Structure 1
């Protein structure tokens, strides 16, 4: 990104120098002016134009958001344009007075300046010059901004698809599937109807994971149903060591969320939390809806400790998907509070 910015800056300054040099070089075709004045005017006008328009550009970059262009932006641009035209005019008068202090004008030069320059025409010329420069700059800026946004959207979509694929890889955990099948096989010797129910839940989980991988958002109620299936399967192995509770805000059930994001939190709580406790513990799923956001909280008994061998793929996927879908408004935190590990996701609802 830094190299791209430096490259753009170099191009801007080269265009500034070349463009203003070509415009001000027209003074050399005027026969009434002395060569001394032509050289002086060419040098001072070129660098003066570069300085004034560069300050104008600095204002546009800092004050005008081209991604969110509004009617008020036009007013701000016109106001600053008049201001810069005034500076441009004042600079021209100053440079002319400086020339007259150190050099003597020829009679032909004086007559030509009297015929072609007045305070009003000079001011209008300054305004028109800055206006043309501003129109060209803003048009180029709009084109570049549009192309940049288009490229970012393409990159966003590509990255989002990749993140969803990585999420699928992290969610359909071969270890979990293998253990679930083994546990169901053992359960069949004790309770055939129960084992049949668990096979159904496992099948629903697989179908859910495969079908929802291609969408960006689903209703929270769908995700909660899938989490119930996961907990039921996990309880085959953990039995009474795993206590699962829900406190679901009714208003949250229809809120759209990224698929498999709650399931990942619950799986993480069971695998890294409850499974490591001799006496087991509790997982609590809470959802809270405020005026501006949905809060999803998963608490589990235990300490916050992640194995050194862990790839942390699940946690990375959560952060990446929230960033891609919601920008800075999508937040994820994982912390230990009073012998509980608390994972919190915040998703904007407005």
Structure 2
């Protein structure tokens, strides 16, 4: 239905363009006859102007067919240009002759002294042949320009989609690199605790199960609300508290207006893990980790601070080469480009601090954009992609029923 509507709109525009040209020709003919003091007959005037233009309007589909059949490309421009030169001349002469025939048959008063003559009609075409040939070439150039612009837009859209898919694939690869890193570290901590406190190790396994469940719930999302990210972080901290029951304290300072802000999924845990490993674990005294979130001038500021020894000053510039920090930096760069800050610094009173500054976006805005993108991608998907999706779904259904997936 949409394509049919677009077709009607296209032909309405074509009809309107020829009508405007007909009005222009009628006005010219009117002014010319008025200056020459020749009798002005409205019916004849309209037949001369609109009759010729509407004959061209009827011939427009043929012109479009010729343009499509003999497209002027780099490899055939000379041969197809000659075809269009010939077509423009033949079409212009044919329409002029047929128009004169209609005028002499239905409009002009019959006169034996001035009968209709093809030769006379062709001869009368010479003074104006460049006008109508030019119109043919204007149609050709406009059609080619429109098609070129559509190709350009399609190319831009495909490039944007490919770039978006590549970015998503890179982000997903970064996430899958961090998740095993976190999991192996946690399992190692549990195995170490097993020799000292079996019950505590068992509690850690239960908490790890809850943590993995939360991770699976948001596995496909690159961004989640800060509320969800803090829920995940809280489960992780409970596991670490079992490792350091008397040495670890964690303080949260979260402004309420930031809870619905979008943040990269799984962004805080690696930073808190580093703070505990390098700032708390080496100490024999009580250590403190602070996690804060606030809004400032439309930006979301996330801060993780510990009371440990701080970053080694001679290695401060190379600290982001590790798995956790390098992945964090790469994900922020992919998601926000230059519109983010990621800083590592030492606190003057002692300890290390990590600062992340990203644009503030509420979770509701993300849901609306995600739905719009999904609808656009679904509308742009061709039949082969839909067939592949149906095939994948058919393969996955038995596994889902058996509880494998």
Same fold (TM over 0.5): yes
Report Cα offsets for 1:97-155 as digits up to 9, x if no partner: xxxxxxxxxxxxxx99964665x668756744542331121122123223333433443
Aligned to 1:77: none
Question: Could you tell me which residue of structure 2 aligns to residue 282 of structure 1?
Answer: 288
Q: Does the aligned pair in 2 maintain the 1:168–1:209 contact within 8 Å? A: no
- SS of 1:135's partner is helix
Q: 1:346 to 1:184 in 2, by over 3 A?
A: farther
CA deviations 1:231-290 (Å, max 9, x no partner) are: 333344445543421101112223343332111211122223333456564321111135
Cα pair 2:290 2:305 within 8 Å, conserved: yes
- The match for 1:229 is 235
SS at match of 1:273: helix
293-302 or 235-244: bigger deviation: 235-244
Q: Name the SS of the counterpart of 1:214 in structure 2.
A: coil
Q: CA deviation at 1:319?
A: 3.4
Please point out which of 52, 75, 78 is paired with 1:21.
78
Structure-1-length-normalised TM-score = 0.56
Larger radius of gyration, structure 1 or 2? Answer: 2
Q: Does 1:336 align with 2:342?
A: no
Q: Give the SS at the match of 2:342.
A: strand
How far apart, in 1, do the equivalents of 2:298 and 2:252 lie? 22
> Do structure 1's residue 183 and structure 2's residue 167 form an aligned pair?
no
Match of 2:278 among 249, 272, 279: 272
Which residue does 1:249 correspond to in 2? 255
TM-score by length of 2: 0.50
Match of 1:206 in 2: 212
Of the two structures, which has the highest relative contact order with CA contacts closer than 8 Å and spacing of 6 or more? 1
d(CA) in 1 for partners of 2:86 and 2:136? 19
Q: Which runs of 5+ in 1 are unaligned?
A: 1-14, 31-110
The 1:25/1:260 distance shift into structure 2, 3 A limit, reads: same
Q: Distance in 2 between matches of 1:239 and 1:317?
A: 29
Please provide the CA RMSD for this pair.
Answer: 4.0
Structure 2, unpaired ranges of 5+: 1-71, 88-122, 366-405
Q: CA 1:241 to 1:113, structure 2 compared with 1: closer, same or farther past 3 Å?
A: farther
In 2, the alpha carbon distance for the partners of 1:307 and 1:147 equals 38
Q: 1-side partners of 2:202 and 2:194: how far apart? A: 8
